[in-house]
Structure 1
């Protein structure tokens, strides 16, 4: 299914929709295909089959909430909002769906909900991504204070993405939080690393910029060098995977695997390993798990680079 998601088309979405509707609960993995390759008619059919009386039918995956919003189905706006205070998955998918809609009719309700939860340690985790829908451009500052104050690191993914969604005004704040241990932007268990990656894409941060920032921090007197390497490694892992994240405002990274290999894993001279792995080895033990992970990422990238070259040769014939 990953191949269809990455390389499919509208015809794939159309062909798979009846299969999904026959047993939605057993075919949850098809939902991203409908979002990425479908259109408004697909969204309307998902709504018709999957929603009753303003709520998802039993057994329908919550990803449908994200999909119908992603596909621009404005008529779903109120229904999505009614799911924001639901279960964790319901709330996340509803918020991500609403992110792609105008939310003009919800501006006041979103602002009131944010004000009600601001400063709390636990809250609907992805509600902060809707801060830009309030019309108040200063919300990013409140999100930063929230994340560095009361919010639990187990509940900060929406804050991370919400800050990034404010664009250039929040660019410096977003970059700082990546390297701030308090935010735990490396956290795979909490999902913070994934949404930090998504936020970097929303911000338009490229790997060269992030790597230059990492080098500067490793050359500084900071006590958080391991954390910086951990965060960068987590971001790079997602960069290598190139997974589809379901955000129209997050362009796919344009660096090729070959370019990433050259940037991160080539030595500038034959006399000293000043690659990413070499820099990490100066801070960490050579057998540290992070160094091992970087070696694995290098191998994966080099394999991907060879695959990209083969595809270019085939396409040029």
Structure 2
């Protein structure tokens, strides 16, 4: 009997989710059909509706082949604990370095799970060691966000000083600025982003400003609608980190929509207005997708899809389209570059989302 089948026999008796059982069945019985798309979809279901039992069921599969099962790591972070973090370290780290066959997401997971003993290990992966890579540095920084970093304050400050004002740098190092205890970094991050940083490398600056909390709220709101920051940038990832920053500050879509309207009313420049529409569309896209951000300080949104449909896409009268789409049509005046079409698509997705919310309520209320 293979190890995979043995695992299945153990797992069957556990209170694991249907999605996890489906993953395990296919891993064992039909591994050639485990495509990245299919696996990512099922993992997303586990992330939304899973439990600690799913972690225990899936962890042995990951340990057997970490490189092939990188998609499972967020499940371990979301539903694991310190014990799980320590097991991930045992599997993934050797002589203080992440093993070559282990996905970098493990670094973020052990930080997310509050494993303070991993602080030094994560820090050693932030800057340009011989094995430096973008994803290694990003996941190490995002993991450190969840740790105290009391023993790293000086080193973080020194690293920020070395890179401040650079065009390109370890992109997510700025998210750790708050760990230095120096409030002056808020203004310096803003200046860095507005004067020197490449928009290909500003995701960490955007999130880092938001993570200053109330002190950074006004600057974050300003950068969202400032074309220089290109917060709508999907290719660079700026839109994802702008969305994460909004979540961290508790800025729901109703507030962001009000801010959009205020920004459009305060500046009639067509290019700036187009930027504002593009940025809000990007934020709405992330809201609809509801990807797990892996940041404890950026919780799930409170508003429902049904409420957003009413707010954004209903007309106040049958005589004029004063919805988000009508607003975009007037602002863009035919030069929409696909934005209006995307808004129609998002409207359809949100209406479907609202229907699914109601179906779930109906099922769970029986």
Q: TM-score range by the shorter chain?
A: over 0.9
Paired residue for 1:312? 361
Unaligned runs of 5+ in 1: none
Alignment of structure 1 residues 88-99 onto 2, 5 Å: 88-99=134-145
Distance verdict in 2 for CA 1:288–1:155, change over 3 Å:
closer
Distance verdict in 2 for CA 1:251–1:229, change over 3 Å:
same
TM-score (normalizing by structure 1): 0.98
Please provide the CA RMSD for this pair: 1.0
What is the rounded CA distance, in whole Å, between the counterparts of 2:337 and 2:173 in structure 1?
A: 37
Following TM superposition, by how much is the alpha carbon of 1:53 offset from its aligned partner in structure 2, in angstroms?
A: 0.3
* Alignment pair present for 1:13 and 2:65: no
Aligned residue among 311, 316, 328 for 1:263: 311
Aligned residue among 153, 156, 161 for 1:115: 161
* Alignment pair present for 1:171 and 2:217: yes
Unaligned runs of 5+ in 2: 1-42
Paired residue for 2:94? 52
Paired residue for 1:181? 227
Paired residue for 1:69? 111
What is the rounded CA distance, in whole Å, between the counterparts of 1:292 and 1:179 in structure 2?
A: 21
Map Cα deviations across residues 246-282 of structure 1 (whole Å, 9 max, x no partner).
0001111001000000110011111100000000011
Paired residue for 1:4? 46
What is the rounded CA distance, in whole Å, between the counterparts of 1:288 and 1:53 in structure 2?
A: 51
Following TM superposition, by how much is the alpha carbon of 1:288 offset from its aligned partner in structure 2, in angstroms?
A: 4.2
Following TM superposition, by how much is the alpha carbon of 1:287 offset from its aligned partner in structure 2, in angstroms?
A: 6.7
What is the rounded CA distance, in whole Å, between the counterparts of 1:230 and 1:161 in structure 2?
A: 19
Aligned residue among 142, 145, 150 for 1:104: 150
Paired residue for 1:273? 321
What is the rounded CA distance, in whole Å, between the counterparts of 2:63 and 2:114 in structure 1?
A: 20
Following TM superposition, by how much is the alpha carbon of 1:216 offset from its aligned partner in structure 2, in angstroms?
A: 1.8
What is the rounded CA distance, in whole Å, between the counterparts of 2:283 and 2:267 in structure 1?
A: 23
Once superposed, which parts of structure 1, at least 4 consecutive aligned residues long, lie more than 4 Å away?
none
* Alignment pair present for 1:159 and 2:205: yes
TM-score (normalizing by structure 2): 0.85
Aligned residue among 286, 292, 297 for 2:341: 292
What is the rounded CA distance, in whole Å, between the counterparts of 1:231 and 1:287 in structure 2?
A: 13
* Alignment pair present for 1:302 and 2:344: no
What is the rounded CA distance, in whole Å, between the counterparts of 1:40 and 1:52 in structure 2?
A: 19
Map Cα deviations across residues 13-37 of structure 1 (whole Å, 9 max, x no partner).
1110010010000011001010011
Q: Secondary structure at the match of 2:300?
A: coil
Distance verdict in 2 for CA 1:204–1:287, change over 3 Å:
closer
Paired residue for 1:251? 299
Paired residue for 2:10? none
Paired residue for 1:191? 237
Larger radius of gyration: 2
Paired residue for 1:149? 195
* Alignment pair present for 1:82 and 2:124: yes
